[in-house]
Amino acid sequence: MLGAGLPDDMIEAKSDNERGFWEGREVIALDERALEKFGSWWGGWQSIDTKRLLGSKKLVASARELVRKGFPDADFIVLKDPRVSRLLPLWQQALEQEGFRCVHVVALRHPGAVADSLRHRNELSPEASTLSWLAHTLDAEHHAREKPHVIVAFENLLRDWRAEMDRVSRALDIEWPEEPESVAHAVDEFIEPGLAHAAPDAVADAVFAVNPLYDVLKRWSADNRQSGDEATVDSWRTLLAPVRAQPSAVALVARERRKAVEGMRAKGKRPGWFGTPRRWNPIQNKALNLEAAAAWAWLMRERQHAVDAERRGSNGGRGSRTRKLARRRR
């Protein structure tokens, strides 16, 4: 609305997002192919190897072509898709090679609001939603860190979009093609805070566990950075790394199913219930919840081990030595 060019193939609004998604179909399709290449999917949390991602000449060429075709006449564009958070190096390279200066707005949502939304829409567990929130949020912040970027909290945008867009403009050194006041009436009508999922009063244990990370990023959205903040953020990346290293079994099965369905349709056959998203998606989401439960249990054990080790270090290791002496005396 402030004048940035948008893709001309945006997906339509749906009942769970009445104001629209603002995402191009071809961008989504390319991002899905890229995630599939690394054994993941939109709801996953698997890590994306940057070297392998940028080493895929086909993906890079496709992204560049999409930028050329999707934004042929615009010199100031906006590219939005949650999957971009995990694939940012790909799009950054494609945009820069096409002559754009790439700057980043990292959108921050409360993990409780995300979990509540995905529970209603996809019946995903708090553990699955929180793992996905961690992957998207940590990757977005990490990849944007060395470039001009700004973190925008969703509730701040809803409360005072003028102040937030002024803040974005200053942080990224950009001028809006449209003066904010010239489109203020349209924006005021568009933004309806009642449609947003607020953070629930009672949050699941998984959401509660990541509150320290969210609190840091929320302060950053108010331009309040403190000593040790980056170490806190990076500690979560380190903790999560082993969980993210393995491909998703659910994603791999989904990939094989997609290939089978496409093959049957190419032969003029009907895939039946096997190919119906209405039948398949609930099965897939239940499997993802099981995958998340195991990953989350491991993650929390490792987190507790790290906390215990830190406590032992802070008291000079006295607890550990006491146990050794006790065994020796017996």
Q: Where are the domains of the chain?
A: 25-244
- CA 153, 158, 159: angle at the middle one, nearest 5? 95
Assess contact for 323 and 159: CB atoms under 8 A: no
Closest CA to 253 of 216, 285, 211: 285
Share in percent of the chain as helix, strand, coil (round to 5): 65, 5, 30
How far is Cα 229 from Cα 252, in angstroms, rounded to an integer?
A: 36
Q: Which residue has the tokens 């903790």?
A: 239
Mean pLDDT per 10-residue section of the chain, whose length is 330 residues: 89 72 90 94 93 95 93 88 95 95 95 91 94 96 95 93 96 95 94 70 83 96 95 95 93 90 90 81 93 95 86 66 46
CA-derived radius of gyration, the chain: 22
2, 176 in Cβ contact below 8 A? yes
What per-residue confidence (pLDDT) applies to 323?
A: 46
